[in-house]
Structure 1
Amino acid sequence: RLTGTFVLSVFTAVLGSLEFGYNIGVINAPQKMIEQDYNATWLQRYGEPIPSGTLTSLWSLSVAIFSIGGMLSAFCLGFVSEWLGRRKAMLINNLFAFIGGSLMALSKLCRSFEMMILGRFIIGAYCGLASGLTPMYVGEIAPTSLRGALGTLHQLAIVTGILIAQILGLEVLLGSQELWPVLLGLTVVPTVLQMSFLPFCPESPRFLYIVRCQEHQAKRGLRRLTGRQEVGDMLAEMKEEKRKMEMERKVSILELFRSPLYRQPIIISILLQLSQQLSGINAIFYYSTSIFIKAGVQSPVYATIGAGVINCAFTVVSLFLIERMGRRTLHMLGLGGMCICAVIMTMALALLDSVPWMSYICMLSIFGFVAFFEVGPGPIPWFFVAELFSQGPRPAAMAVAGFSNWTANFIIGMGFQYVADLCGPYVFLIFAVLLLFFLIFTFFRVPETRGKTFDQIAANFNERSVGGMMDMDMDMDLDKPSTELDYLGEESIN
């Protein structure tokens, strides 16, 4: 049953995801006002208006340095989560959010665009750690039957944060010349809440028992989370995982790629993260406002918010489907739907000037693209990595996966504009090809993890790697879709 402690722990953890999403979306609405303040600061310092090229560079740096901070901190995730523990790492990580939010909020008062850029970097560092710590903690405290649904809450909190930022960024609310520092500074609110609630949340029992060898504390945490006095069955599962982990060497990031046992799951993890960022979702939001304008929408900003609402709604749909249809099936459904929408959008954009009503097809394609993204590629890659690895290699794997996600995010953010200028409306064909590749890869290489313990999932890959070394034919058989992997996982446990 769901206890108050368990609900509080999950809610507190996903506050970090909410703040992550808020900082993704908050910088777009006040762009013009922030650029005006950059110009005013430059004029005060040097007695002349800021050159347009310098202004563009400063703004691009203000946006992109967020991803750089995320890349660097995500790569440190494994070390931080093992050194401090999941809960304490989340608690200390809030210091980055508080410092970053304060710097951004005070940058206008202090007439310093350096404070804004530094604040964006620090808040990016916070988000890089939060993007790994949240699904790791939630995945470790969640029961097997709810792990997928609860893992989706990470993405739901992200898109909710984006939507909140879009709404508060309206000029009638906080997106004005006077109030935009308040808009950016509001990021400290989830920080204060999380710092207040975390002391009442237990540390991950799986971490306490397997990594710290603290059986008594692990039992106490399990009892608080489950409301049961007898937790021997869950402790037995962790004991078996610990026993197998002790038979392995300490897993480093290099070992993930060198060992046949970990090589395939880490490649799957990286490509799942790339399927999220290289799907074109950020490009869709980039084009959405101009397409809505061509469609005759009086207030395109509200149409963009409508796309954000669809973003949230279909994340909720994924929440209910994830344990019924499975991760692999939903991810393939999302990739396939996005691929079709990308092709339709390319055709509609190409015909937009000659066939005016094609703008409405573009709008429907945008909404469909966003909906399919949140069904699969949006939420699934974040928690799928935590499911593919046992306790030992999980922190290193989360660090590699998070670094891959942030790096792809940075590349898209910096390079998309140049590719779009070169290819025009046909830029979405590139994304369609990438989506088709990720769909084929998922079909042939990604196993189903629904309803399995971490030990069973690891056993599947163990069977596959051993089979590949013994017999190539057996390896080909093991690569078949999930039903056969389920059978092999059960056989290995038996």
Structure 2
Amino acid sequence: MTDFPSEQPAEAAQTKDTVRQRIFMVVLVATMGALAFGYDTGIISGSLPFMSTAPSQGGLGLTSFTEGLVTSALIFGAAIGSFLSGFFSDRFGRRMTLRSLALLFVAGALGTAVAPTVPAMVAMRFVLGIAVGGGSSTVPVFIAEIAGPKRRAPLVSRNELMIVSGQLLAYVVSTIMSYTLHDPHVWRYMLALAMVPGILLFFGTFFVPASPHWLVSEGRFAEALRVLKKFRDTPREVRKEMTEMRKQERLARQGPSVRALLQERWVIRLLLTGCGLGFVAQFTGVNAFMYYTPIILKTTGMGTNAAIAATIGNGIVSVIAVLVGIWAVSRFSRRRMLMTGLAVVILAQVALGLTLTLLPQNLTQSYLALACILVFLFFMQMCVAPVYWLLMSELFPMKIRGALAGIAVSFQWICNAIVAFAFPLTLSLIGNQTFFVFVLLNIGSFVFVYFLLPETRGKSLEEIENMMRSKYGEV
């Protein structure tokens, strides 16, 4: 067997530039789902104070209970959406799944913007959550399968970059609107803008290809080959990846059924690991800060508008942290990054708890509390969040990758919902001791990562699958 002819340097450079541009466009379209995810989860932080005013003043009259209900409705919807979209994407493909989710993004955003009552708001936030959750499990898998082994880590990490960019956009929009629009219904305008990334995602899916891995799993080898030729730098890469995918497809076809595969020891172990990572990511308490920072800062005496404006700091720090994380994830092991992030998260939570518990309520306490939150977010978004989404695209076998990623991400959303719903209630019951509860949970997460997380850096998706089957298979 002979290799493909070598390319001339100029032609190779031109080809690589073209490939990078094509991949960039696919990632840009796919991550419109992540941008919508970030905006929808971030905008609630700025809109809640206005929604909490009395109906006669343009709000919905929210209490601490209904605040948690409205916030967590999206997240419970996301748990359902990520679970269902995993099976949907394995059956109909990642691209078609994203196109369907885009319609839900638009419908949900419009529904929340015009919701007349709390029950209507909860229902429409749930619909919007289905789209958010579906995108959260589908986008990383789609990018990983399009990107290839060389580019997978930084490109999948761009999903997290778009999530935090969407949150930053939400914080900026809510701050600008809160200061400039003296309208009691300003929160409705904030929520309506969430339709924009959904519209962009819908039309963008008509200009991106189907996943080559999904095409191979469907037996559409010629189509998969055409896609690979457009998105790989050299014929050798195309041949190697196509050979690996064909081999995995044969093993999957000759092996157990999907139902039987879901009962195999190594698959169950991977699924439990994926669910455990969802616990790790969410019980850091990150979304207690992303959703409720204004409420936390108002307990220190900071005004409503100033507290909303302070969330811009959350967004800026998160974006910078993810940019650093994209650089780091190609250079350091997944395990090292997670353990480093969790160690600093623990220290930041301890510092925040002590600041809010021991210091008097004044401007110094406000700024120190914000500083603790920003340090927490920097290491969370640099080390924990990008690695979590990357692992969700890597850990699971090709035949049921969408389904298992959907189940694992669904569990992550359930953990998110528990935090979002319980945080304001817990804060009202035990006060600032809440942050020490997070410390204990994060120590447990550190132990889990240290002892149970496998390392996937530097391996193709097929190599990871073979490693997991060998390591965790029947003994």
> Shorter-chain TM-score category?
0.7 to 0.9
| Equivalent position to 1:284, from 280, 286, 289 | 289
Kindly indicate whether residue 206 of structure 2 is the aligned counterpart of residue 199 of structure 1.
Answer: yes
Kindly indicate whether residue 265 of structure 2 is the aligned counterpart of residue 248 of structure 1.
Answer: no
Where do 1:56-455 residues align within 5 Å? 58-107=66-115, 111=116, 115-170=120-175, 171-173=178-180, 176-209=183-216, 211-226=217-232, 231-252=238-259, 255-256=261-262, 258-285=263-290, 286-287=292-293, 290-291=296-297, 294=300, 299-353=306-360, 360-455=367-462
Counterparts of 1:187 and 1:376, CA distance in 2: 28
Counterparts of 2:20 and 2:383, CA distance in 1: 29
Counterparts of 2:227 and 2:67, CA distance in 1: 46
Q: Tell me which amino acid in the other structure corresponds to 2:166.
A: G
Between 69-78 and 268-277, the greater mean CA deviation after superposition: 69-78
Counterparts of 1:166 and 1:330, CA distance in 2: 27
- Deviation at residue 19 of structure 1 after TM alignment: 0.1
Q: Tell me which amino acid in the other structure corresponds to 1:319.
A: I
The CA RMSD measured in Å over matched residues stands at 2.7
Q: Which residue of 2 aligns with 1:34?
A: 51
Q: 1:66·1:121 contact (CA, 8 Å) conserved in 2?
A: yes
Q: 1:295·1:360 contact (CA, 8 Å) conserved in 2?
A: no
Instruction: Tell me the TM-score normalized by structure 1.
Output: 0.84
Distance 1:374 1:181, change over 3 A: same
Between 128-137 and 389-398, the greater mean CA deviation after superposition: 389-398
Q: 1:91·1:195 contact (CA, 8 Å) conserved in 2?
A: yes
Q: Tell me which amino acid in the other structure corresponds to 2:310.
A: A
Q: Secondary structure at the match of 1:299?
A: helix
Between 168-177 and 80-89, the greater mean CA deviation after superposition: 168-177
Q: 2:293·2:311 contact (CA, 8 Å) conserved in 1?
A: no
Deviations 1:126-152 (A, max 9, x none): 111001110010011112122111111
Instruction: Tell me the TM-score normalized by structure 2.
Output: 0.88
Counterparts of 1:56 and 1:176, CA distance in 2: 23
Counterparts of 1:78 and 1:345, CA distance in 2: 37
Q: Secondary structure at the match of 1:145?
A: coil
Q: Secondary structure at the match of 1:3?
A: helix
Q: Tell me which amino acid in the other structure corresponds to 1:353.
A: P
Distance 1:243 1:310, change over 3 A: same
Deviations 1:2-39 (A, max 9, x none): 43321111110000000011011112323343344745
Q: 1:97·1:123 contact (CA, 8 Å) conserved in 2?
A: yes
Counterparts of 2:288 and 2:457, CA distance in 1: 31
Q: Which residue of 2 aligns with 1:22?
A: 39
Q: 1:81·1:133 contact (CA, 8 Å) conserved in 2?
A: yes
Q: Secondary structure at the match of 1:376?
A: helix
Deviations 1:391-428 (A, max 9, x none): 11312211211211111111111212232233322221
Q: Tell me which amino acid in the other structure corresponds to 2:149.
A: T
Counterparts of 2:156 and 2:395, CA distance in 1: 13
Q: How many residues align?
A: 453
Distance 1:173 1:85, change over 3 A: farther
| Equivalent position to 1:459, from 426, 444, 466 | 466
Deviations 1:294-344 (A, max 9, x none): 487993333221122101110111010001012111111111110111122
Q: 1:71·1:403 contact (CA, 8 Å) conserved in 2?
A: yes
Distance 1:412 1:289, change over 3 A: closer
- Deviation at residue 290 of structure 1 after TM alignment: 4.1
Between 30-39 and 71-80, the greater mean CA deviation after superposition: 30-39
Between 377-386 and 357-366, the greater mean CA deviation after superposition: 357-366
Q: 2:86·2:134 contact (CA, 8 Å) conserved in 1?
A: no
Structure 1: 5+ residue stretches without partners: 43-49, 471-494
